[in-house]
């Protein structure tokens, strides 16, 4: 399988006053197509910062990030935004749904991101059909026109997953996607994510504190104090 | 697409945005209605002033200016259709046996357009005046009742019982209870230079009989001017200068050439009245002659524009407040928009679109209701009068038959442009604040 995402020597410092606080101190990692990778570590280890850098939401202080072999960390803002839209889907712990929009509209919004009014108008029916299909796929066919406040936590996260997948990204970056759910709902959501991942052969980078969840991935990357301290195949993967 | 979609959803789910929209709509409405009313009023005033004046007037003529010489000099101009000599004096018209009314307060004289006992007395030749102005239609005005009409319309200033006649404005005649045949005294004075070179006032007293009424539609003119025969006034004030003229009323063939004709006639008057290398007299169009009066109304319209624009600025501040509040509420969305592929400029456009949609809808509502209100202003006045008994716009004061209104497309465009620019300015500030917001802060913290 080809490497979709490669990060080499990533460092990130934040300035607090005149002081530079290092958060990442030289991280190397790569993710292949169709691979599920768990990123484990304690709070403050730099997991979320690394996820934001890999998702091109922020620029590293040094190091390189490659998507499909192309260095992208220093591309212009607009170019990075387009790449993010085309390559990356995000799922967050707090869902980040837009409260004014229904479940369907939240998903459709992701399809509108790189189209003009006229372009979208031409393919609005097709876009709506694929959004409905995606929501049905995540089990929300009956909740299309409900707003986030009318949905449970698990349902909101399903909408967020549908939104992350609607633009057909190559990699999904999930930042503690079950951190705000009870264990039963969390299991349902994870099962759903992994099923879709298998169906679409998506690369998956999952930030989590949950060892149990991490062992369901193909590989675990452990972080501490801004360093990657361990990269192992999980026992499941080894057995396979 | 997401910018407009999100902007509209944000607006539809926040009724508070209607405040800004309503404010803009009210500002635009007021600007359209009030300025259309004033433009209509200005138009009516111009029409009334024009109707009460000759197209062109030769004025500021020196004491030695004589009618035959000026007539001969000016009558050859190809655009001159008719000319009439005039003498102008001021005085009091008093009924015999009555005391003269008290002197007006400073600044309230007839010269300032007030309804005062002091009047301007126009000495005219009726036949020539009818060729230079609308004098004939003034005395035949349909609103003049038969009992107050001039008896002999072919010779309106002919003496009655060997006494010179005077024509008064219809409203003044009504107010003072005068009717044709009533006796009046014109009390005035003239300054004469004595042997020592000092100016001494000489009292003048002329017996007159009311010949009838005239009406020009310009209330300010009718209320303060009366007409007597030129020879009568000549004999009373300039008995030693039988050809003296103080003003010449001129009608033109082609009104589109008014300014050019006035310029030619001015040069001709100056040439004719040249003395010791200096030309005397001045020729003005009716608009130039009354420019101060017309400019006053136009100036009031400009002041109102400024005052009403303030309403729109207040509405804009209201919009700024609601948009700023919305940006503060929606910072959580900025992170996810960025994560989905949005850029800072895209985020700016979301909130800018909100402001522009608010402004645009406000402008459309304001323009539509403003134009409809302006068109049906008279009907609205009558409905209000019927419902409350209060007249918003007393027409009789201005000699109008309905509330005037003139909708100027250029002004509508200017109001639209002004509102859109104001809306854009107040939308840019919160939109830029949204764009400067770090999306990672939204994504990390809840």
- The answer to whether A55 contacts B338, with C-beta atoms less than 8 Å apart, is no
What is the pLDDT at residue A240? 57
Residue window 42-101, chain A: list those with CB within 8 Å of chain B. 48, 52, 55, 57-58, 77-78, 81-82, 84-86, 90, 92, 94, 96-98, 100-101
CB A46 within 8 A of CB A226: yes
Q: What is the 3-state secondary structure (H, E, C) of A161-201?
A: HHHHHHCCCCEEEEECCCCCCCHHHHHHHHHHHHHHHHHHC
The answer on pLDDT for A19 being more than 70 is: yes
What is the pLDDT at residue B115? 54
Percent of chain A whose predicted confidence (pLDDT) is above 90: 49
> What is the largest distance, in Å, between two alpha-carbon atoms of chain B?
106
Residue B49 φ then ψ, to 5°: -65, -45
Residue B149 φ then ψ, to 5°: -80, 150
Residue A106: closest C-alpha in chain B: B6
With tokens 């026109």, the residue in question is A145
The closest CB to that of B340, out of A100, A110, A117, belongs to A110
Say if strands B278-279 and B225-229 run parallel, antiparallel, or are unpaired: unpaired
The closest CB to that of B440, out of A58, A101, A113, belongs to A58
Among B339, B342, B357, the residue to mutate for chain A (most A Cβ within 10 A): B339
Lowest mean pLDDT among A62-71, B214-223, B271-280: B214-223
Which candidate, B215, B214, B163, places its Cα nearest to that of B184? B163
Domain boundaries, chain A: 35-48+79-239
What is the pLDDT at residue B414? 94
- Side-chain-side CA neighbours of B381 within 13 Å: the count stands at 16
Quick count: other Cβ atoms within 10 Å of Cβ B363? 25
Say if strands A203-208 and A171-175 run parallel, antiparallel, or are unpaired: parallel
The closest CB to that of B9, out of A96, A100, A175, belongs to A100
Q: Which fold has domain A35-48+79-239?
A: Rossmann fold (3.40.50)
> How high does pLDDT run on average in chain B?
89
The answer on pLDDT for B111 being more than 50 is: no
Residue B112 pLDDT class (50, 70, 90 cuts): very low
What is the pLDDT at residue A73? 87
What is the pLDDT at residue B113? 46
- How open is the CA angle A218-A94-B327, to the nearest 5 degrees? 135
CA distance B211 to B200: 32
Among B340, B350, B440, the residue to mutate for chain A (most A Cβ within 10 A): B340
- The answer to whether B2 contacts A112, with C-beta atoms less than 8 Å apart, is yes
ipTM (interface predicted TM): 0.87
Which candidate, B397, B404, B386, B305, places its Cα nearest to that of B35? B305
The answer on pLDDT for B445 being more than 90 is: no
CA distance B86 to B126: 10
Q: Which two tokens stand for residue B395?
A: 């027409």
Residue B110 pLDDT class (50, 70, 90 cuts): very low
The closest CB to that of B340, out of A113, A119, A175, belongs to A113
Query: For residue B94, what are the β-bridge partners?
Result: B185
User: Computed from CA positions of residues B38, B39, B41, B46, in that sequence, does the dihedral angle turn out positive or negative?
Assistant: positive
What is the pLDDT at residue B224? 87
- The answer to whether A167 contacts B444, with C-beta atoms less than 8 Å apart, is no
What is the pLDDT at residue B215? 92
- The answer to whether B2 contacts A167, with C-beta atoms less than 8 Å apart, is no
Q: In the predicted model, what is the mean pLDDT of residues B200-220?
A: 89
Could you tell me which residues of chain B have a Cβ less than 8 Å from any Cβ in chain A?
1-2, 4-6, 9-10, 12-13, 332-333, 335-336, 338-346, 439-440, 442-444, 446
Q: Which two tokens stand for residue A20?
A: 């530079």
Residue A165: closest C-alpha in chain B: B340
Q: In the predicted model, what is the mean pLDDT of residues A109-116?
A: 87
């Amino acid at each position: 399988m080809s490497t979709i995402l490669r990060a080499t020597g990533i460092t990130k410092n934040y300035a607090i006053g005149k002081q530079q606080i290092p958060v990442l101190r030289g991280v190397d990692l790569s993710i292949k197509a169709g691979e599920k990778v768990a990123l484990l570590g304690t709070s403050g280890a730099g997991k979320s910062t690394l996820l934001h850098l890999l998702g091109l939401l922020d620029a590293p202080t040094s190091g390189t990030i490659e998507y499909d072999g192309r260095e992208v960390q220093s591309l212009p803002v607009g170019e990075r935004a387009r790449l993010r839209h085309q390559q990356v889907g995000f799922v967050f712990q707090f869902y980040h749904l837009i409260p004014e929009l229904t479940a369907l509209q939240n998903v459709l919004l992701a399809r509108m991101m790189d189209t003009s009014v006229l372009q979208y108008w031409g393919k609005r029916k097709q876009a709506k059909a694929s959004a409905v299909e995606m929501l049905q796929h995540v089990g929300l066919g009956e909740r299309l026109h409900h707003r986030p406040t009318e949905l449970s936590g698990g349902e909101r996260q399903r909408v967020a997953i549908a939104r992350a997948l609607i633009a057909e990204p190559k990699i999904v970056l999930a930042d503690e996607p079950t951190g705000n759910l009870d264990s039963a709902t969390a299991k349902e959501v994870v099962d759903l994510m992994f099923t879709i991942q298998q169906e679409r052969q998506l690369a998956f980078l999952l930030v989590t504190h949950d060892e149990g969840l991490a062992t369901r991935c193909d590989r675990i990357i452990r972080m501490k104090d801004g360093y990657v301290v361990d990269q192992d195949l999980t026992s499941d993967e080894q057995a396979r | 697409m997401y910018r407009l979609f999100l902007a509209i959803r944000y607006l539809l789910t926040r009724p508070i945005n209607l405040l800004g929209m309503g404010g803009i709509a009210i500002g635009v409405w007021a600007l359209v209605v009030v300025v259309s009313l004033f433009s209509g009023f200005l138009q009516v005033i111009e029409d009334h002033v024009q109707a009460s004046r000759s197209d062109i007037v030769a004025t500021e003529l020196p004491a030695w200016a004589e009618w035959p010489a000026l007539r001969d000099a000016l009558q050859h101009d190809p655009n001159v259709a008719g000319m009439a000599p005039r003498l102008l004096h001021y005085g009091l018209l008093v009924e015999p046996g009555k005391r003269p009314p008290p002197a007006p307060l400073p600044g309230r004289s007839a010269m300032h357009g007030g309804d005062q006992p002091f009047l301007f007395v126009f000495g005219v030749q009726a036949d020539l005046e009818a060729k230079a102005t609308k004098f004939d239609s003034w005395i035949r005005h349909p609103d003049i009742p038969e009992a107050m009409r001039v008896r002999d319309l072919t010779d309106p200033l002919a003496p009655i019982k060997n006494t010179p006649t005077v024509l008064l404005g219809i409203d003044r005649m009504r107010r003072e209870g005068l009717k044709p045949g009533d006796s009046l005294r014109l009390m005035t004075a003239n300054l004469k230079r004595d042997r020592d070179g000092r100016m001494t006032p000489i009292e003048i007293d002329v017996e007159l009989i009311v010949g009838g009424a005239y009406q020009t539609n310009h209330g300010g003119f009718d209320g303060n001017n009366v007409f007597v025969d030129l020879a009568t006034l000549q004999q009373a004030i300039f008995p030693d200068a039988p050809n003296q003229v103080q003003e010449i009323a001129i009608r033109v063939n082609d009104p589109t050439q008014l300014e050019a004709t006035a310029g030619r006639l001015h040069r001709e008057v100056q040439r004719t009245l040249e003395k010791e290398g200096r030309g005397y007299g001045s020729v003005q169009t009716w608009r130039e002659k009354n420019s101060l009066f017309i400019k006053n109304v136009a100036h009031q319209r400009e002041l109102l524009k400024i005052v009403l624009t303030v309403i729109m600025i207040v509405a804009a501040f209201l919009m700024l407040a609601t948009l700023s509040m919305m940006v503060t509420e929606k910072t959580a969305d900025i992170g996810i928009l960025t994560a989905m592929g949005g850029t800072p400029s895209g985020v700016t456009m979301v909130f800018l679109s909100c402001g522009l949609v608010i402004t645009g809808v406000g402008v459309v509502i304001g323009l539509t209701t403003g134009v409809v209100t302006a068109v049906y202003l008279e009907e609205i006045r009558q409905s209000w009068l019927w419902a409350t008994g209060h007249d918003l716009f007393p027409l009789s004061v201005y000699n109008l038959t309905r509330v005037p209104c003139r909708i100027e497309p250029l002004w509508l465009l200017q109001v639209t442009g002004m509102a859109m620019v104001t809306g854009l300015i107040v939308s840019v500030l919160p939109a830029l604040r949204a764009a400067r917001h770090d999306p990672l802060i939204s994504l990390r913290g809840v």
